[in-house]
Amino acid sequence: MAHSVVVIAVAAVVHAAPLYDNLSLGVPGPADQIVDRRGYALGFSRRHKQPLWVSYKLTAEEVTNNVVGRADSFEFDPEIIGGSATLEDYRRSGFDRGHLAPAADMKWDPLVMRESFYLSNVSPQINAFNSGIWKRLEEWCRGLALRRGSLFIVTGPVFPDDEDHVTIGQSKVTVPHFFYKVVYDATPPGRMIGFIVPNKAAKNIYRFAVSVDEVEEATGLDFFSELPDDVESRLESECNPNKWNR
């Protein structure tokens, strides 16, 4: 599978030449390792055994081009230096293997679908969260991509303070307290929105809508940094869910 992936080992480097369009608007932040695949790119944390961020462009064509069904077969990621989480880490943990780049966004190619089930692309999620509000937020993004043509999406966990640090499995996979998602619709004049959602049962996605600036403050990341500074500053300060229903 070397033809479909580039692996970039980094410690504090935040810029890398993108292989696909996943990182065309910038690398969101430093990571122990960046892996850029056809379907998504991720910045992996060895400490937390999961991504700090997952970035990808979702197009209307990808949403409608359902050439393969859901894989439903999670795998150890062979590209992760030092190893990803394992199936045993999640077994009897009480947590779902929650996708960050959703499998339902990857039905346009068999290899892309398979790679979405690598355990480097999942985080421990409460079942009611994973099958509830997180699923609805993913469906909202797909519907928006259909209407607007394409979206840029970055998503990932928000980790607790050290004193509240809970892990699962022998690999000590950190259980996030929250998850974030930031969405950029580049259709002129452009718009952005962020979400920070607690890892528990909830219903209304707009209740958790925030500006992208607020997600950056919570995560220490810098989204869409390749945009012109004035555009990035203007759009990242917005939070108007009503704009996204039009």
Look at residues 233, 132, 133, 241 and name the one whose alpha carbon lies nearest to residue 183: 241
Outline where the chain has alpha helix (H): 60-64, 87-90, 110-116, 127-130, 133-148, 212-219, 229-236
Whole-angstrom distance, CA of residue 194 vs CA of residue 240:
10
Active site residue 48: no
Of 3, 48, 99, 165, catalytic: 99
Look at residues 183, 185, 177 and name the one whose alpha carbon lies nearest to residue 195: 183
Displacement of CA 10 from its chain's centroid (Å)? 19
* 111: three-class secondary structure by DSSP: helix
Residues with a known catalytic role: 99
